């Protein structure tokens, strides 16, 4: 089975201002649409992309966030992927991309290698956002590494900005573990240009790191247009579980959506106890019954 670590490391090896969309901080109608991060169905989508997307659409998801770009999207060109999604009335609002510090110099699709081509394909596909998904262990060994990442994010964001795309950074929990007494997340936030680089806040990881998601959202109000909505179970392991099945108070978090600057959110479950489609169905049903009323 593919894991997030293995997929993102593979991306690193294989791939090697404000938005022009002029969005305000007020919520728009799109926030009623529930999105999904396709990493949840990673073991299905590379084998049968068309069939997998059809199942995702049937569950009621209207927006998707892609991953694993290495010149193509699940074997499709940008135009082919765009048509496949359009036929299912789903929008490719955003996508995850690698940093690529140790990627092959001739590779494409990461912040440091072939970024212009990635942005070109993202614009063709219809991305509104591109997201730096993960930093490998080797890419984040020191505070200087994080300062370099922030500088590279600023440069990559300028390329995105010209294409009308907003660049974001997706957190895990390691950004909230101090190095030499300093939080790496503070470095990323201070060293990157707030007008160019935004955040995709993973509500599970910020909670697992021991922070209050609502307090973090208020602290960075207006800089968090994207949320990852995944729950944390009630066991000592604090593992992934379906939205509404764990300990995260999503109802309280979603009540901040109208003032926080959130534009889109995605269900993601890194590991599922059975079929990921069953887990996604439980999550979207809970969201539609309990959370979208706050949007």
Question: What pLDDT shows up at residue 123?
Answer: 98
Each residue of 9-20: pLDDT tens digit? 444 444 443 333
Number of Cβ within a 10 Å radius of residue 267: 26
The yes-or-no verdict on residue 245 having pLDDT over 80 is: yes
228 contact partners, CB below 8 Å, separation of at least 6: 37, 170, 200, 201, 202, 203, 204, 205, 265, 266, 268
Question: What pLDDT shows up at residue 98?
Answer: 96
The yes-or-no verdict on residue 63 having pLDDT over 70 is: yes
Confidence of residue 107 (pLDDT cuts 50, 70, 90): confident
Per the prediction, the chain carries an average pLDDT of: 91
Question: What pLDDT shows up at residue 15?
Answer: 41
Q: Which fold has domain 4-294?
A: TIM Barrel (3.20.20)
Residues 253, 217 contacting (CB under 8 angstroms): yes
Question: What pLDDT shows up at residue 268?
Answer: 98
Question: What pLDDT shows up at residue 5?
Answer: 52
Question: What pLDDT shows up at residue 155?
Answer: 98
Q: Report the alpha-carbon distance of residue 287 to residue 89 in Å, rounded.
A: 20
Q: Which sequence spans correspond to the domains of the chain?
A: 4-294
Q: How many CA atoms lie within 13 A of 208 on its CB side?
A: 23
Q: What is the mean pLDDT of residues 122-147?
A: 98
The yes-or-no verdict on residue 206 having pLDDT over 50 is: yes
Question: What pLDDT shows up at residue 233?
Answer: 98
The yes-or-no verdict on residue 269 having pLDDT over 50 is: yes
Question: What pLDDT shows up at residue 28?
Answer: 46
Q: Report the alpha-carbon distance of residue 126 to residue 129 in Å, rounded.
A: 9
Each residue of 169-201: pLDDT tens digit? 999 999 999 999 999 999 999 999 999 999 999
Confidence of residue 30 (pLDDT cuts 50, 70, 90): low
- Between CA 235 and CA 237, with CA 236 as vertex, the angle to 5 degrees is 90
Question: Is this prediction's pTM over 0.75?
Answer: yes
Q: What is the mean pLDDT of residues 261-289?
A: 97
Question: What pLDDT shows up at residue 23?
Answer: 42
């Amino acid at each position: 089975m593919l894991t997030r670590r293995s997929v993102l490391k593979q991306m690193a090896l294989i791939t090697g201002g404000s938005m022009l969309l002029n969005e305000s901080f007020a919520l728009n109608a799109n926030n009623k649409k529930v999105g999904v991060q396709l990493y949840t169905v990673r073991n299905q989508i590379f084998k049968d992309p068309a069939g997998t997307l059809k199942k995702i659409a049937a569950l009621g998801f209207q927006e998707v966030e892609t991953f694993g770009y290495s010149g193509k999207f699940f074997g499709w060109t940008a135009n082919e992927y765009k048509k496949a999604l359009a036929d299912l009335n789903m929008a490719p609002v955003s996508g995850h991309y690698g940093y690529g510090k140790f990627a092959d110099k001739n590779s494409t699709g990461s912040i440091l290698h072939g970024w212009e081509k990635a942005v070109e394909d993202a614009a063709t596909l219809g991305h509104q956002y591109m997201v730096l998904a993960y930093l490998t262990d080797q890419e984040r060994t020191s505070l200087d590494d994080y300062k370099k990442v922030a500088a590279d994010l600023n440069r990559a964001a300028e390329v995105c900005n010209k294409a009308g795309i907003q660049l974001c950074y997706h957190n895990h929990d390691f950004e909230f573990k101090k190095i030499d007494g300093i939080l790496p997340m503070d470095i990323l936030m201070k060293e990157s240009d707030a007008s160019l680089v935004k955040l995709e806040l993973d509500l599970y990881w910020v909670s697992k790191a021991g922070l209050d998601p609502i307090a973090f959202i208020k602290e960075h109000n207006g800089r968090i247009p994207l949320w990852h909505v995944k729950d944390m179970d009630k066991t000592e392991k604090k593992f992934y579980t379906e939205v509404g099945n764990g300990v995260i108070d999503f109802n309280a978090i979603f009540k901040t959506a109208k003032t926080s600057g959130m534009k889109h959110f995605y269900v993601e479950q890194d590991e599922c106890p059975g079929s990921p489609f069953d887990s996604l169905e439980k999550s979207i049903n809970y969201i539609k019954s309990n959370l979208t009323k706050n949007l």
